[in-house]
Structure 1
Amino acid sequence: MARATGGFTDLRQVEAGVLNVGYVDAGPPDGDAVILLHGWPYDIHSFADVVPLLTAAGQRVVVPYLRGYGTTRFLSADTMRNGEPAAMGLDLIALMDALNIDTAKLAGFDWGARTADVVAALWPERCRGLVSVSGYLIDGQKSGTVPLPPKAEFAWWYQYYFATERGREGYDKNRRDFAKLIWHTASPRWTFDDATFDRSAVALDNPDHVDIVIHNYRWRLALADGEPQYAEIEERLAAKPKITVPSISLEGDANGAPHLEPTVYGKQFAGPYEHRTVGGGVGHNLPQEAPQAFADAVLEV
């Protein structure tokens, strides 16, 4: 397992639910399981420097590509390329079942944090502890239609771009330039090099990537429907269920992506809970920018 300069060298594949999932499985097989979940537009290499810290502490660490990223593929061409939160939550449950992991610590950022939040809230018996960058990210379609203050709306510019067919075409044609722009704006003080970006940008070449991203953001604005089999789960999530498992929320002091203050979402954590702000100019991709702080939270939660 290489460090940040080379990335992960041992990638595995497993059929789980509707997907064939690409994932890293590092550390002792009998160690306590930790599952790390990346966001958009990033990939598993956000955790390249976190994984060695966790495996050195005896943890078994699983890092999957989300649907629409890297080597993860749908088993059927007929399956809807669905980006709604319930689908991603069930992807995680299916992966845990496929790998015979009954319970694990779940940790992530962006889409990955939301997915971890979903499982922690609805299936707490599968989650031994939670580390979530930007805290509680569960929401429903109805609240996504409520207007925000102008400054907040401005921060979500790409969501509205993706609502148009021009946005879909533009993102498809310019995936890497788009991703690099988001990396810079979401982490304005992170000085990543071209090799670091290129290593992750390959994951965006997935044939389902654009469909998943566009559906995700359109669904949030109630501009796209989900699938009927997820409706009951989405109703439960729209009610904003409390998270009762031991949890730590993290926030970088220079996060340029849209996010709420912990004073807003802290009440959603009903179990043992702590918030940590990570200083030093850390942005949205917190595990890659501050791997030690992220790993410490995973080990301590």
Structure 2
Amino acid sequence: MGSNDNSDELNELFGEEFRKYIQPRDESQKIKTGETGESEPEVPKLGKKFYEKELRKLQIELVKLQEWVKAKGLKVVIIFEGRDAAGKGGVIKRITECLNPRICRVAALPVPTEKERTQWYFQRYVSYLPSAGEMVLFDRSWYNRAGVERVMGFCSEEEYREFFRSCPLFEEMLIHSGIILIKYWFSVSDQEQERRFQQRLADPTKRWKLSPMDLASREKWEEYSKAKDEMFAFTDTKTSPWWVVNADNKRRARLNCISHLLTMIPYQELPSPIIELPPRKESSGYVRPPISEQNFVPERY
């Protein structure tokens, strides 16, 4: 099944109502995000029931894709980049929550150690690349050098320029080795990012997401815009293109991204093995020790 066949099948599966939300607009209707500084037309919200129903359908398709990747020994790398609070983690969660963690895993690397700083820049990412039958989702990636490291001064000018010389070659090497490489940029407006920052600040369960680096980056919107534009100029190639997700609406962004991902890797539904549960064995008369000897969690609810 080719990618176009996948797209047609998904359109048929999800129907006319969903099609209007996932098909790309033509240039005259295209939404311009706040990253461009241009105004945005009002976009209708997706109802919770509709969103959950469509997400469920997409997640079923992701399971089919997972089984195809495993059976055919494919190696898949999906990169998720974007500004802070753009929704990268949210879509990664929705992709992985129904998948087998032995097949689909997430790579979210911490700040490099002193030893790693002395290595070839891409070296620490290589060990996270997939083996046959695996999918790896990078929650941020080697593109840190083109973004946060550039803007916050964590790399030199020479290191920055060397990254752009090396990155297309590195990705070309991955692709030639048989890795399927897909890159997503989650695009969020400054107004929506600020709203999400304020929401995190007000919610004790989300406050941990607002790091000191986020607060520092908040003052450098234009610098990040320049860094992103330069990154695209050097690394948005024919063999390894960037796919931009309009992420001002979280639900819409998740559905759009997942539905697009399903068209990027040709797959087919494989027949599921028939599983029958055998009858339980009858008791052999084993006497268990008294439960008073065990520690139980208090039942407060």
What's the TM-score once normalised by structure 2's chain length? 0.34
What's the TM-score once normalised by structure 1's chain length? 0.34
Higher share in strand: 1
- Higher gyration radius (CA): 2
Higher share in helix: 2
